[in-house]
């Protein structure tokens, strides 16, 4: 099994910054892509940013230039640095990891964290 634990969410004023972390633990062979998604009340979950095991990144258009995704592959951890936060960034942010959990039979699954609340408000 794989567990993803997010941290770093909280309340911040518009224009402020926040850094999210997500650490994966458990029994697995390899983590491939990792990413951050968010979901606001009444809206669909959407991609924020993702990063491959070799460091290739992609961002949603509204986050590009403000958010930066990075990872420490050896520590199975992904980060999201969020700058110039806006009220519309308020959402629950979820960490996702694509994980090979069984190498001998090639079992690959997506795992999700429980989410961390980010609230941008004056």
Q: What rounded mean pLDDT belongs to the chain?
A: 95
> In the structure encoding, which two tokens stand for residue 94, read together?
């979820």
Structure tokens, 117:
């609340």
Q: What are the DSSP calls for 32-57, one per residue?
A: EEEEEEEE-TTS--EEEEEE-TT--E
Residue 24 · residue 76 · CB < 8 Å: yes
% of the chain residues with pLDDT over 90: 89
Q: β-strand 57-59 against 10-12: which pairing, if any?
A: unpaired
pLDDT for 12-32, tens place per residue?
999 999 999 999 999 999 999
- Could you report the per-residue pLDDT of 38-89, keeping only the tens digit for each? 999 999 999 999 999 999 999 999 887 999 999 998 999 999 999 999 999 9
């Amino acid at each position: 099994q794989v567990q993803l634990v997010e941290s770093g969410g909280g309340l911040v004023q518009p224009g402020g910054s926040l850094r999210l972390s997500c650490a994966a633990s458990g029994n697995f062979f390899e983590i491939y892509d990792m990413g951050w998604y968010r979901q606001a009340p009444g809206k669909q979950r959407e991609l924020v940013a993702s990063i491959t095991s070799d460091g290739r990144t992609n961002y949603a258009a509204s986050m590009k230039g403000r958010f930066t995704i990075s990872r420490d592959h050896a520590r199975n951890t992904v980060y999201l640095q969020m700058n110039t936060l806006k009220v519309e960034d308020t959402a629950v942010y979820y960490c996702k990891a694509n994980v090979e959990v069984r190498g001998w039979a090639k079992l690959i699954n997506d795992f999700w964290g429980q989410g961390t609340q980010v609230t941008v408000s004056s």
